[in-house]
Structure 1
């Protein structure tokens, strides 16, 4: 191919790995695709090793495929001597190097990068254009338009709107399949060991050399890299294979056990497709269409199909709308003024609380843990203990392979920590040990007694649960969804309430020793 001068540079970010994007519909001599591994992106928060490896490996795979398809690609590896380790500095160099006539980029999904690239483009002397990623069902501000004039954004309303608009699990007249919109009540069973979780048949990769390169470049990380036996997908083809295995082997049981937890099975019946979708190598429409087709073919129960589709068509698009409406500043909300630093065992999993040791341990080992571990074990404890929501946000953003700020931040600050005061969730999602015991096998064999409220072996969740509502009576006491909680507190005698306050205060003062 002849190389023309003054090409257009098109930037592809590490979470924009959509090989079906219209940018790639034709090969053009006057377009150079730019991809870069930069310390700017490895260092803005401490990331899990597998997250860095997976993004870089998938970026390299896309670059290879683009080159094989005849496209021009300029790829800066993290150890390239020409790599300035920041996007603006690298772009300045490449625009000058190619004598670029124009610059284009796809809309970033994180506010931080959106502002950086918009500001950068505004200062260029050449034409610059931001294009759509062609990934989501909704525009950034679509949810805000739907909820205009409403103080609380109810996800259920958004979800029903999306079902009807996009003709998913509805009849010709727009009525919900099965006569109801939500089968959540049917999807709350604990897992007793059967059926056993499907075998992990994901393709394996050896990224040992890439990991050595990342380490040599000075990028800091935490968690287990598992570089020699890496199971996360590199491209759309691998993600589609994973989708098919999920539909055939796990989706039939997903709904029934989607909230279950076990130290014996970290995957259970979850798809592990969130990384592939959030990096855009897998289109959410493809996933939803396949799941709906499986239900229509009679291969999976409606409750499983609906429960899974709700997470993507409903929750995923919804939290993105919340993110873009509330940024900037959403990450700093802290309605309870919680400031306690995260205990050291968030980076080791070494705590005598079996539920936290398991949930954090799975996160450190796999860079993944499913939503109930994130919400009702780790997030639950963090809110009850008064941990800093901003620090927790940074930990969640770093530890999970599927965590990009647009999806992680509303889940952490809004859903998990209620730090926005109820802009997203209708109540704080907290519980005592009873919920964890009901939905998991974590309490069996734990150092702490799930039934004890006070004393040296009392489960830390129990006293902190009641104390949390006592301490926040002024802000939460009028919440109708919490009437039963405050009625139970009212029925406690004075010495009992004082004992719970004292126990909770002691627990919060000795978090490092739990």
Structure 2
């Protein structure tokens, strides 16, 4: 064999560089389903099924095109991990080289490289053209800068690709960023209408996968009566059209809002399709711009959506490859608590947590504010060990690939990196959740109360967090307002809040199973 071309579960890109120089007589493609990719974290059944179904549909396409493919199926259960599967193929087929697009997970990258070294086979890594920048370009931009903020990298990419630009260098509408316009709540009346989501009838491949996952991973979290997510490009494109036609107009205003029993609202639901490479980000971005220029979709909504893909997605990937593998062991706030059991069940009196977690267990999905300012916020203020909350996010969300999940969790959400990614920890009391949702109106806790039987755990832990870390953040200008408010509290008030926090911790510990 001349070359063995590896294709991973998040690399289902029909236009990948890996197809550019194939000799079908002497080369072979390689895909592997292995147990470890579902068990190195306790993966959600929806997540497992999504990747397996996507891989099997992709493999079917390769075979239909007449491309040679070596496919290790989980049904055969020959190999526990990718290294074992690759080692077997190398020893039996003896390829002269192994080629692979850059993996999205440092653990997988290291495993593949080490296996090839062990068997003395050259390993060639190809750029992932599914991104609009490379880790090398990001590092060149980052060199010499004291702080690496999303806004400035985003502007560079806007200029490079001429997205929402006028006269090459000026942003359309005169502003680079409309984030301040994208923070509305639904108020008392709630959302006027919620767009319908799409569902797809499971074909034979997907139905087989559903049965396999329910059998082999029956004790894993989540439900899998049906798979809720696109597994082929045609389905992903249908999901994209649904967003632009039905959701985009209200997406900007209400992208941070939450509402009881409404898991999807105006969100696009395409992140898993993007991360598996079923949609190309530039296609998505340019279509969004078309909807503004030709169909008059609000600029604030279009810019906010594009910023998540052209800005945030590229930014976190650049940071990931700059700081791995060391990022995984950072713990700037010395957090060491276990993850509360209710993260796996949703069984808690905190309505916001119950709503966010139970929908996650059903769909493998929660939108960014539910992740950052509900489940992530509680973990941060409770003091969960960063690795444990990282493993939970990686396990339960269908769009979780480590290059995007780890920076968002350890950097943005948990501040374990001491500010590499975020200029301050994202902490807030229950009043924030009350402002952005109707969760608190359906909860036995009162968001304004920090002490007593009705005290909101978020509010109690907010003040306790500030008191615990006041010295750490005293010179952080973005924390000044919060710390000034803390200083206004009397010693007795602080003591009572700390006592309430102990009660909260004791109650959570008592409910461990």
Q: Give the aligned partner of residue 47 of structure 1.
A: 43
CA contact (8 A) 2:113 2:123 kept: no
Which structure 1 residue ranges, 5 or more long, are not aligned? 1-5
**C-alpha distance in 2 between matches for 1:294 and 1:121:** 47
Tell me how many residue pairs correspond in the alignment. Answer: 506
Match of 2:269 in 1: 272
- Structure 1 Cα separation of the partners of residues 502 and 47 of structure 2: 36
Q: Could you say which residue in structure 1 is the equivalent of 2:157? A: 162
Tell me the equivalent position of 1:3: none
Q: Does 1:190 align with 2:189?
A: no
Q: Which moved more, 1:320-329 or 1:16-25?
A: 16-25
Q: Deviations over 1:86-138 (max 9, x none)?
A: 22222232234334343222211211111111222223344442222221111
Q: Is 1:263 paired with 2:260?
A: yes
C-alpha contact (below 8 Å) 1:10/1:105 kept by paired residues: yes
User: Is the aligned partner of 1:381 residue 2:395?
Assistant: no
Give, in whole Å, the separation in 2 of the partners of 1:264 and 1:42: 29
Residue aligned with 2:98, SS: strand
User: What secondary structure does 2:30 align onto?
Assistant: strand
How does 1:428-467 map onto structure 2 within 5 Å? 428-467=425-464
User: Does structure 1 residue 234 correspond to structure 2 residue 249?
Assistant: no
Flag the 1:491–1:102 CA change in 2: closer, same or farther, 3 A: closer
Measured on the aligned residues, the alpha-carbon RMSD in Å equals 1.8
Inter-partner Cα distance in structure 2 for 1:89 and 1:56: 19
Match of 2:71?
75
The reply on whether 1:62 has 2:61 as its aligned counterpart is no
Question: 2:87 touches 2:115 (CA, 8 Å); kept in 1?
Answer: no
Distance in 1 separating the partners of 2:112 and 2:41:
19
Would you say the 8 A contact 1:140–1:321 is kept in 2? yes
| Residue number in structure 2 paired with 1:113 | 108
| CA gap 1:43/1:503 in 2 versus in 1, 3 angstroms | same
2:416 paired residue among 419, 431, 434: 419
Residues of 2 paired with 1:38 and 1:255: CA distance?
Answer: 40
Which residue of 74, 81, 86 maps to 1:86? 81
Stretches of 4+ moved more than 4 A in 1?
215-220
Give the SS at the match of 1:456: coil
Shift of residue 202 of structure 1? 3.5
Write the distance in 2 (CA, Å) between the matches of 1:141 and 1:337: 32
Q: 1:225 aligns to what?
A: 224
Contact 1:252 1:299 in 2 (8 A): no
Match of 1:179 in 2: 174
Q: Deviations over 1:450-508 (max 9, x none)?
A: 22221012111112111111110111111111111121122222222222222223223
Q: Distance in 1 between matches of 2:192 and 2:136?
A: 42
Q: Indicate yes or no: 2:132 matched with 1:129.
A: no
- SS state at 1:444 partner: helix
- CA 1:88/1:496 → structure 2, altered by over 3 Å: closer, same or farther? closer
Q: How does 1:271-420 map to 2 (within 5 A)?
A: 271-420=268-417
Structure 2: which 5+ runs fail to align?
none
State the TM-score, normalizing by the size of structure 2. Answer: 0.95
In structure 2, the CA distance between the partners of 1:328 and 1:101, relative to structure 1 (3 Å rule), is closer
Alpha-carbon distance change, 61 to 208 in structure 1, aligned in 2, over 3 angstroms: closer
Among 29, 33, 52, the alignment partner of 1:33 is 29
> Partner of 1:71: helix, strand, or coil?
coil
CA contact 2:210–2:227 (8 Å) conserved in 1:
no
For the residues of structure 1 that align with 2:17 and 2:135, how far apart are their CA atoms?
Answer: 20
* 8 A contact 1:205–1:231 mirrored in 2: no
TM-score, reference length from structure 1: 0.94
State whether residues 43 and 219 of structure 1, in contact with CA within 8 Å, keep that contact through their aligned partners in structure 2.
no
| Alignment partners' CA distance in 2, 1:133 and 1:284 | 12
2:488 maps to which of 474, 487, 491: 491
Give 3-state SS (helix, strand or coil) of 2:51's partner: helix
What is the Cα deviation at residue 216 of structure 1? 4.3
**What do residues 421-465 of structure 1 show as CA deviations (whole Å, max 9, x unaligned)?**
111111111111111011001001202122222101211111211
